[in-house]
Amino acid sequence: DVQRLKNLSRLPLSPPKQKESPVTFPPLASVLDQVEAIMLKYLTLPNPHFAMVLALWIANTYTYHLFDYCGYLNIRSATPRCGKTKVLEILELLAEGTPPITTQPTPAVLFRTTRKVILLDEVDKLRNKDKDTYGEVMAILNCRFKRGSSVERVERGEKGMPVKSYPGYGP
């Protein structure tokens, strides 16, 4: 016991000073301004303020886990070939995890995916092509905006048909 106390007395009273991290991050406002500039450079938007909305949504993909709710983007146009996919391609490059664009997803893809951020294209075509699948896809998307949301499915297994819960929260 005496030896242990002697050893403890040799320890410094305050923790050693840590080297300051050489990595510094620019203020969020500066990053948002840069992303907005990228949007305005590569996209023709109906309103230039939409570029900041896109920048904020990208920031959301990095921080949504800190909140109870997560906003979605729904990009629509009355005319085809107007640049909706181009918007998704830029979001793909800048969003957390560089999520690939998924086209006409099935409900199973949406609730089984391990991706935190999902970018969907051509979902509106499901509405006219397969109304049942479209309804199921929309139901799953309608639950993803809230923390703690899940999709439950009965899974075939060796021990009966257990119910499995798939977490669904994310942008």
- Model pLDDT for residues 105-123, shown as the tens digit of each residue: 888 888 888 899 999 888 7
Q: Is 133 exposed, middle or buried (0-12, 13-18, 19+ CB in 10 A)?
A: middle
Nearby residues of 39 by Cβ (< 8 Å), 6 or more positions away: 45, 50, 51, 54, 55, 90
Closest CA to 41 of 31, 50, 51, 32: 51
Closest CA to 74 of 59, 54, 55, 92: 54
Q: What is the pLDDT of residue 17?
A: 64
Rounded CA Rg of the chain: 24
pLDDT surpasses 70 at 10: no
103 φ, ψ to 5°? -105, 135
pLDDT surpasses 70 at 133: yes
Does residue 24 or residue 51 have the better pLDDT? 51
pLDDT surpasses 80 at 100: yes
pLDDT surpasses 60 at 14: no
Q: What is the pLDDT of residue 21?
A: 67
Token pair belonging to 125: 């075509």
Q: What is the mean pLDDT of residues 61-77?
A: 91
State which amino acid sits at residue 59: A
pLDDT surpasses 70 at 57: yes
C-alpha span between 170 and 103 (Å, rounded): 18
In the structure, what pLDDT confidence band is assigned to residue 7 with cuts at 50, 70 and 90? low
The mean pLDDT value of the chain amounts to 84
